[in-house]
Amino acid sequence: MKALKCNHFLVIFSALMSTSSVANSFENITQSCANQRAGEPLNSNLQRQLDKEPNLPSEGKNKRIETVSFHQLNVFDTSLPEEDNALFRFANRAHITTKPEVLRSILLFQEGELYSQRRLIESERLLRNQNYLYDARVFAEEDCHGNIHVSVVTRDLWTLLPELSFSRSGGENSSRIGFRETNLLGWGKRLSLTHTSDKDRSGYLFVYDDPNILSSRYRGRLEYADNDDGKRHYIGVHYPFFSTETPYSYGASDYENRRIESLYEAGEAVSEFDHFTKISDVYFGAATTLKSNWTQRLSIGFRHQEDTFKRISTTRLPIANDRTLSYPYVKGHWFEDNYIKVRNFDSIYRTEDLNLGWNINATLGYSDSQLSNEDNHWLYQMSAQKAHFTSDRSLWRVALSLNGQWNSEQNTARNMVSEANFEYYLNTSLYQSWYAKAQLRFAKNLTEDMQLTLGGETGLRGFPINYQHGSKSVLVNLEKRYYWEYDLLQLFKVGAAIFFDIGRVRGHSLVNSDPNYLKNIGMGLRLAPSRANAGLVLHLDVAAPINGPENIDGIQWLFTVKNRF
Q: 376-417, pLDDT tens digit by residue?
A: 999 999 999 999 999 989 999 999 999 999 999 899 999 999
24 has pLDDT over 60: no
User: Is the pLDDT reported for residue 172 higher than 60?
Assistant: no
| CA–CA distance, 464 with 169 (Å, rounded to integer) | 7
Please report whether residue 213 resides in a domain: no
Residues with Cβ within 8 Å of 27's Cβ and at least 6 positions away in sequence, in order, are none
Mean pLDDT to the nearest integer, 550-564? 85
Residues whose CB is less than 8 angstroms from the CB of residue 450 and which lie 6 or more positions away in sequence, other chains included: 415, 443
The CATH number assigned to the domain holding 77 equals 3.10.20.310
Boundary-marking domain end, from 156, 176, 195: 156
B/e letters for 13-32, b = 16+ CB within 10 Å, e = fewer, are bbbbbbeeebeebbebbeee
Would residue 178 count as lying in a domain?
no
Same domain, 262 and 410: yes
Cα 523 to Cα 539: distance, rounded to the nearest angstrom: 10
Please tell me whether residues 125 and 263 are part of one structural domain.
no
Q: How far is CA 91 from CA 72, 75, 76, in A?
A: 15, 8, 8
Average pLDDT over every residue of 318-335: 95
pLDDT for 165: 59
Segments forming the whole domain that contains residue 282: 240-562
Does 349 share its domain with 480?
A: yes
Let me know: does 2 contact 149? Beta carbons within 8 Å.
yes
HSE, CB side, 13 Å, CA atoms: give it for residue 509: 25
Per the CB < 8 A criterion, the answer to whether 10 and 153 are in contact is yes
The reply to whether 199 falls in a domain is no
Question: Alpha-carbon distance 259 to 345, whole Å?
Answer: 37
Q: What's 400's domain CATH number?
A: 2.40.160
- In 3D, which of 535, 392, 431, 441 has the Cα closest to residue 47? 392
Residue 219, domain member (yes or no): no
User: What DSSP element (H or E) covers 493?
Assistant: strand 492-506
Q: Which residue has the higher pLDDT, 229 or 56?
A: 56
Pinpoint the alpha helices (H) of 354-462. none
Nearest to 148 by CA among 120, 108, 107, 106: 120
In three-state secondary structure terms, 212 is: coil
Give dist(CA 474, CA 323) in Å, integer: 30
Buried b (16+ CB within 10 A) or exposed e, 415-443: bbbebebebbbbbeebbbbebebebebbb
In a domain, 62, yes or no: yes
310 has pLDDT over 70: yes
User: Rounded mean pLDDT of 524-543?
Assistant: 90
Rounded to a whole number of angstroms, the distance between the first and last alpha carbons of the chain is 45
Residue 215 domain flag: no
Helix (H) or strand (E) holding 55: none
Q: pLDDT at position 45, please?
A: 64
Q: Are 254 and 235 in contact (CB under 8 A)?
A: yes
pLDDT of residue 527 exceeding 90: yes
Domain ends where: 112, 133, 156?
A: 156
Average pLDDT over residues 164-181: 67
Question: SS3 for 175-239, per residue?
Answer: EEEEEEECCHHHCCCEEEEEEEECCCCEEEEEEEEECCHHHCCCEEEEEEEEECCEEEEEEEEEE
Please say whether the beta carbons of 375 and 369 come within 8 A: yes
For residues 6 and 69, is the Cβ–Cβ distance under 8 A? yes
Let me know: does 126 contact 108? Beta carbons within 8 Å. yes
81 phi/psi in degrees, rounded to 5: -55, -40
Number of domains, the chain: 2
The pair phi, psi for residue 37, each rounded to 5°, is -80, 135
Say yes or no to pLDDT of 6 above 50: no
403 and 291 both lie in a single domain: yes
| DSSP, residue by residue, 307-376 | EEEEE-TT--S--PPPEEEEEEEEEEEEEE--EEEE-SSSSSSS-EEEE-S-EEEEEEEEE-GGGSSS--
In a domain, 381, yes or no: yes
Q: How many CB atoms lie within 10 A of CB 59?
A: 12
Using the predicted structure, report yes or no on whether residue 311 has a pLDDT greater than 70. yes
Question: Which among 484, 387, 479, 495 has a CA at the least distance from the CA of 433?
Answer: 479
In this structure, the number of other CB atoms found within 10 A of the CB of residue 344 comes to: 25
Per-residue pLDDT, 21? 33
C-alpha–C-alpha distance, residues 222 and 210, integer Å: 9
Report d(CA 423, CA 470) in Å as an integer.
24
* CA separation for the pair 553, 390 (Å, rounded): 41
Residue 300 CA to residue 313 CA, distance in Å, equals 42
| 349: in domain | yes
Residue 212 to residue 129: CA distance in whole angstroms: 13
DSSP string for residues in 298-325: EEEEEEEEEEEEEE-TT--S--PPPEEE
Cβ–Cβ < 8 Å for 236, 254: yes
% of residues, the chain, pLDDT over 90:
67
User: What pLDDT score was predicted for residue 390?
Assistant: 93
416 & 540 share domain: yes
For residue 166, the model assigns a pLDDT of 59
pLDDT of residue 473: 96
331-372: pLDDT as tens digits: 999 999 999 999 999 999 999 999 999 999 999 999 998 887
Q: How far is CA 260 from CA 83, 127, 229, 403, in A?
A: 48, 39, 5, 24
Which of 156, 185, 204 finishes a domain?
A: 156
- 146, 273: one domain: no
- DSSP annotation of 91 reads H
pLDDT average, residue stretch 143-164 = 89
d(CA 536, CA 563): 4
Mean pLDDT of the chain: 87
In this structure, of 25-29, 246-250, 257-261, the range with the lowest mean pLDDT score is 25-29
pLDDT in tens, 39-89: 344 445 688 998 888 889 998 888 999 999 999 999 999 988 999 999 999
Residue 495 CB: number of other CB atoms within 10 A? 24
Residue 265 — pLDDT band, cuts 50, 70, 90? confident
One domain for residues 129 and 257: no
Q: Looking at residue 168, what is its pLDDT?
A: 55
pLDDT at 94 > cutoff 60: yes
Q: Which residues pair with 152 in a beta bridge?
A: 70, 138
What's the confidence (pLDDT) of residue 44?
57
Residues 133 and 253 in one domain: no
Among 177-181, 348-352, 539-543, the minimum mean pLDDT is found in 177-181
Strand partners, 403: 381, 417
pLDDT at 34 over 70: no
Between 194 and 7, where is the model more confident? 194
Closest CA to 555 of 545, 541, 540: 545
Going 49 to 52 to 54 to 59, the CA torsion angle's sign is positive
The residue with greater pLDDT, 200 or 137, is: 137
Q: Cα(196)–Cα(343) distance, rounded to whole angstroms? A: 33
Predicted confidence at residue 476, as pLDDT, reads: 98
Is the domain of 107 the same as that of 252?
no
